[in-house]
Amino acid sequence: MKELSVYYCPGCGRYNYSRPLAHMTCPVCELPLKRLTSYSGFCRLNEEERDKLLVEKIIAGNPAACSRFLAYIRSCSSGEAAALQTPDPRCLESENQKLNETIQWMHQTIWDLLLKNKELEQTLEKSPTKAGRTGKR
């Protein structure tokens, strides 16, 4: 009986535990999975050692993957840095004022349109062509 092993996707880094099969592919990338190590050896590693082993194998097989990892890490770290910045209260007050002015403008526009609509309805009710359209003469 063949030993349980850890297989990984060289494209996305996902891994799974399996016995060797003729054709194993990543369910996401659909790339052929490669053997990483034995299951027992993988279990002896801590999380950091597992990650290091996986990254080393991916980079060894595809050096361009390193730039993808770095781009991802940079995007995450810049997002965290932006989240940690505290916004200037004056800027927030100015933005809030603009939003309030926009809401007031929209509110007034809606009321103006409702008033015009009401006037048009009253004009149509009084018009002589209405009687002709309903069949009354």
**How many C-beta atoms surround the C-beta of residue 71 within 10 A?**
10
Nearest CA to 17 out of 26, 27, 31, 5 is that of: 5
Cβ neighbours of residue 54 under 8 Å, at least 6 residues apart?
Answer: 8, 13, 15, 36
**In this model, does residue 137 exceed pLDDT 50?**
no
Residue 80 is predicted with a pLDDT of: 53
Which residues share a beta bridge with 8?
A: 15, 34
Q: Are 33 and 26 in contact (CB under 8 A)?
A: yes
pLDDT averaged over every residue in the chain: 79
pLDDT digits (tens, 9 = 90+) for 72-108: 667 665 555 555 555 667 777 888 899 999 999 999 9
Tell me what pLDDT residue 24 has. Answer: 85
Quick check: 1 pLDDT over 50? no
**Among candidates 14, 44, 17, which has minimal Cα distance to 31?**
14
**What residue spans define the domains of the chain?**
5-84, 92-134
